[in-house]
Chain A
Amino acid sequence: MKPIRKQRLFLIILMLAGLGLAATFALQAFNENLMYFFSTSDVAAGKAPTNAVFRLGGMVVKGSVERPNADLLVRFKLSDFEKEVTVEYSGILPDLFREGQGIVAKGQLDSRGVFVAEEVLAKHDENYMPPEVAGSLKKPAAQP
């Protein structure tokens, strides 16, 4: 390599290293703002804002979905497998909403510690499989 080219290569590497470092610091600084939602453990630990709207994500606990009245009000528990938070929502749920499904709800905590949601989004997981395979996964293993 000619010296001038070596110098340009060095400059480019230096530029990329600097940019990478700057981006890392910037993202570190904004880490919390980049989180799309709080986990239920965050809420239990008091890290989530009070009297402000935020998003809460977690799995809908199996058997926790109930409709106390005849209207659209739904009450269910969200969990990250450590702490649970009760959520109330009144409105139309997305197609993928079901027990055991990950969801993200937007709303705020009320005085009872219940998360009152104004919007519920389903979070799809990264698994794709035909129904037969999903069915066979759920069945208990055959006894020998």
Chain B
Amino acid sequence: MSWIPAPVSRFFHRTSSPPHFYALADRFIPWLTVIFLLLLGAGLYGGLYLAPTDYQQGDSYRIIYIHVPAAWMSLFIYVLMAVMGGIALIWRMKLAEVMLISSAPIGAGFTFVALVTGSLWGKPMWGTWWVWDARLTSELILLFLYLGVISLYGAIEEKRAAARAVSILALVGVVNIPIIHYSVQWWNTLHQGPTVSKMDKPSIHVSMLVPLLLMAAAFKFYYLIAVLQAAKLELLKRETTSQWVKTLLEKQA
């Protein structure tokens, strides 16, 4: 890999070795938890207490502090999974496989939260729990993609073969991501257009935007914590017979 500087490449090789990664994750998780709790506290206080009520929706709009970050995460995690899938297929890197499969349940969770909170908001605002417009339908397909990744991985006994199959599924599903993002612009949908993620100035008042961005950051840190925990467990399961797991267990016993 001549096009990547040697120290960077060495760093990746070191971190991608399971025992190193395991120790690194252990060291990072407490710090990540502190940052997550701080961001979450600030975001919730700002969003539920400091932010003003909306001129049309009153207090109901406050569900965006969960709904929007969760929906962003559902797309973000899927793209990450596809990148991991690509790395796993090209370089056959074990850690990428582990990160890919550890991300799937978290992404599915965020997608589910986005769908449910959207539905709870839709009933009083739109007058309906659910419509089959392009945005809602493509987001539901994303949930099924996540569930597909989880079940395909579970269905194949040999885990390296399972990871390869799942990598391909993750890459195939990535076409859905731009469809979800642009659905509100390409077609007439009941779901409103983008408020924050557009080229123009965000069409949300700054006092409401700041807590939203804090919540989005908090969700990112939550994902990091959750994925590292899940990856640690997955590594232990896969490498039960290896020397580093044995030494680790002896140390803890």
A contact residues vs B (CB 8 Å cutoff)? 1, 5, 8-9, 12, 15-16, 19-20, 23, 27, 31, 34-39, 57, 93-96, 104, 119-135
Contact = CB atoms under 8 A, between A and B. Distances in A.
26 contacts: A8-B90, A9-B90, A12-B90, A27-B179, A34-B186, A36-B132, A36-B134, A36-B187, A95-B124, A96-B57, A96-B126, A119-B127, A122-B126, A122-B127, A123-B126, A123-B192, A124-B57, A124-B192, A125-B193, A126-B193, A128-B195, A130-B207, A131-B53, A131-B54, A133-B205, A134-B55
Nearest to A19: B175
A124 B63 CA distance: 14
Among all A-B residue pairs, the 6 with the closest Cβ atoms:
A94-B127, A130-B52, A134-B55, A36-B133, A128-B204, A129-B205
A12 B189 contact: no
Contacts of B124: 94-95
Contacts, number: 116
Given A128-B203, A129-B54, A133-B205, A34 B187 contact: yes
B41 interface: no
Contact of A5 (B52, B91, B126, B132): B91
Interface in B68-99: 86, 89-91
Contacts of B57: 96, 124, 128
B125 A95 contact: yes
A27 B185 CA distance: 14
Nearest to A98: B56
Interface string B40-78: 000000000000111111000100100000000000000
